Chains A and B, each alone.
Chain A
Amino acid sequence: MNLDRSVALCILVFSMVYAWLAFGYELLPFERHQAFKPNTMPIGLSVMGIVLSLAVLLVPSRKDSSVVDESVVDLPEQESANQQFDKVRPVILIVLMIIYAMALRPLGFIGSTSLFLILSSMVLGERKFHILVPVALGGAIFIWYLVQEVLGIFLTPWPMLFG
């Protein structure tokens, strides 16, 4: 099964779960007799989601389907002999982002941000630590200053154990 059908299958499963939650939504006594209930639109959406995802699964896809996406040009469809795609580093970066989210409060903004920038750059192949560490630390401190002192948004700079 190609990727777009796999995605449609996932959305079908999601729509079915959504439908189960929508149909099973517990209405309050006064809501039961209203013309428009809290689950009216969700029920409609779940049915549409199931129908559309089945349609994508069952209708044969075109080879030349073009995407007009206002964001950016498309991701490459498949590897060619001359092109090398890196599948490991994006996954490592995702893991680092999750660790950053977990470490943000325990380590504080400056510590966790500096670590994230240093480790991400290392994953991407940077080894000039005499440039990397000052850039990461300086960037973290600058952004903390900009956000907290200039924009007035509180960011815990130091680890939790410092209060």
Chain B
Amino acid sequence: MFDGLGIGLSAAFSFYNLLMVVIGVLVGTFIGMLPGLGPMSIIAIMIPVAIKLGDPTAALILLAGVYYGAIFGGSTSSILINAPGVAGTVASSFDGYPMARRGEAGKALTIAAIASFCGGTIGAILLILFAPMLASVALLFQSPDYFALMVCGLTAIAAFAGKGQVLKALLMTVFGLMLASVGESALHNAPRFTLGIMDLQSGFYFVTLVMGLFAIPEALALVYDPSRGKAKGGGSQKIENLRITRKEARQIAPVIGRQSIVGFLIGVMPGAGATIASFLGYAMERNIAPKKDRDEFGKGSIKGLAAPETANNAACTGSFVPLLTLGIPGSGTTAILLGALIALNVDPGPRLMVERPEVFWSVIVSMYIGNLVLLVLNLPLIPYIAKLLQIPRNYLIPFILFFTMIGAYIGQNNPTELFIMVGLGVMATALRFAHYPLPPLIIGFILGGMMEDNLGRAIRKANGLDFIWERPLTAGLLVVAVLFLLVPIFNDWRSRRTEG
């Protein structure tokens, strides 16, 4: 582990990679403040740039920085104008916005920055401790186990989709797997389901899919609902006095300590991302607070702001554990990062730590650097970056649409990608209106190729489906996958009976 840390430190502290961290965090904050663009859309927009860098270490560092910056940027608009464009920052508005309304916007942003920094830093330390352990276990995996693990990950994501959403999430997962089957697979060279379209010979381009599914519906939503992302109830964007007192620091310290660990553990679980962590963190701190403090929650409590901010950043770091150690994305955002790794010819999975230690460790170290940059650089720049919130939508929305289109175009230099992207955007907008969750679709798409490869190898080696019970690990993971599905379905059925 210490050798790896040394490799990570030397790679992460190179001038080029430090520059990537700073650029990623600044760009992420910059764009994350804009209403309507979540971390997935922002990372999707930055992926073509990251891929063109050519160096997987620098690319992943850049995108990870964008991820943290976007979460922080989302918190900023959540606090200043009560317009949380990122679901993981909704809970921050419960107390952050009341603080801004009573003239403490600067203090609220400082608390958010410190809480995010601590959550991310403690999360990075836990990642350093847990990741090698998990990676060494994962080296025992063979093709059947990988396949079962992916099934487990996909069902967990569907299970966490929300009450009454399991069937829809599963349907989206299967739909994503179907989209992944278009084109050639690694096991079979002949193209499938291309309908004679030459441009689909290699399948759908990952960036096109992501842009179409996430960025376009968000931009169109801003047009459809003009009130979306606008300041509610007379938001205050005036930022003064970025200091907190020692007493306030002592009050939030235990909150930060608790939520760093809880948020990290929630983030590790596939499907349970920053959103769940932030809400659970807020609820937990409110429930354990003394009565006097509990009454303050929802009215501008510093604990009420520190809890979700710490939890969501720690969860973001935790979500990298399954990605870096097992090659399984735990959330929609890490699914997009996985797609970027594959596009850069890096084979994610347990062997990443062994074969590409400079990628593995430098990403982990850069998480700490990214959080430091957020605290040191972003906080003083917030008053200036906040001016972005004043850009008229008549200019903002066309540029957002343009950036999504150019992102898809430059990857393949083919206008057909734009047609495909617009078609996917229209489809995704309809899916969003019908409340179908989209992260399972993108995760299914990204894992589809690998699932088929591993399943194919497992079936060929066992000459059938005997591999399921020949390996206890495979059987165990598939049982867990079934349980992940059955428990929410059973709970849903039971609550329907109670209601009925």
Q: Do A and B bind each other?
A: yes
Task: List A residues at the B interface (Cβ < 8 Å).
Answer: 3-4, 6-8, 11, 14-15, 18, 21, 25, 28, 31, 34-36, 38-42, 45-46, 48-49, 52-53, 55-56, 59-62, 64-77, 83-87, 89-90, 93-94, 97-98, 100-102, 104-105, 113, 116-117, 120-121, 124-126, 132, 135, 139, 143, 147, 151-155
Q: Is the interface of B mostly helix, strand, loop or mixed?
A: helix
CA distance A152 to B48 in the complex (A): 12
Q: Which of B41, B395, B436 contacts A71, CB < 8 Å? A: B41
Task: List B residues at the A interface (Cβ < 8 Å).
Answer: 36-41, 49, 52, 84-88, 90, 160-165, 167-168, 170-171, 174-175, 177-178, 181, 185, 187-188, 190, 192-193, 214, 217-218, 220-221, 223-228, 273-276, 331-333, 392-395, 397-399, 401-402, 405-406, 409-410, 413, 415, 418-419, 422, 425-426, 429-439, 451-452, 455-456, 459-460, 463-464, 492, 496
Contact A97 B405 (CB under 8 A): yes
Chain A residues positioned under 8 Å from B455 (CB to CB):
36, 41
Contact B413 A105 (CB under 8 A): no
Chain B residues positioned under 8 Å from A153 (CB to CB):
52, 410, 413
CA distance A142 to B331 in the complex (A): 34
CA distance A86 to B228 in the complex (A): 12
Known: A71-B438, A97-B405, A154-B413. A56 touches B165 (CB 8 A): no
Contact A56 B167 (CB under 8 A): yes
Chain A residues positioned under 8 Å from B437 (CB to CB):
67-69
Known: A35-B459, A64-B163, A97-B422. A120 touches B178 (CB 8 A): no
Chain A residues positioned under 8 Å from B276 (CB to CB):
68
CA distance A95 to B421 in the complex (A): 13
- Measured CB to CB, the closest approach of chain B to A30, in angstroms, equals 11
Contact B410 A70 (CB under 8 A): no
* CB closest chain-A residue, reference B90: A73
Chain B residues positioned under 8 Å from A72 (CB to CB):
36-38, 41, 85-87, 218, 221
Q: Which of B84, B192, B225, B460 contacts A75, CB < 8 Å? A: B225
Chain A residues positioned under 8 Å from B164 (CB to CB):
61-62, 64-66
CA distance A46 to B175 in the complex (A): 9
Contact A126 B435 (CB under 8 A): no
CA distance A34 to B226 in the complex (A): 56
* CB closest chain-A residue, reference B409: A104
Contact B439 A70 (CB under 8 A): yes
CA distance A98 to B245 in the complex (A): 55
Contact A4 B405 (CB under 8 A): no
Contact B397 A120 (CB under 8 A): yes
- Measured CB to CB, the closest approach of chain B to A150, in angstroms, equals 10
CA distance A151 to B395 in the complex (A): 25
Chain A residues positioned under 8 Å from B438 (CB to CB):
69, 71
Known: A90-B224, A100-B418. A49 touches B175 (CB 8 A): yes
* CB closest chain-B residue, reference A6: B434
Contact A70 B162 (CB under 8 A): no
Chain B residues positioned under 8 Å from A126 (CB to CB):
392, 394-395
Contact A35 B463 (CB under 8 A): yes
Contact A70 B88 (CB under 8 A): yes
Q: Which of B36, B178, B398, B459 contacts A18, CB < 8 Å? A: B178
CA distance A135 to B399 in the complex (A): 11
Chain A residues positioned under 8 Å from B84 (CB to CB):
73
Known: A7-B430, A56-B171, A104-B418. A70 touches B331 (CB 8 A): yes
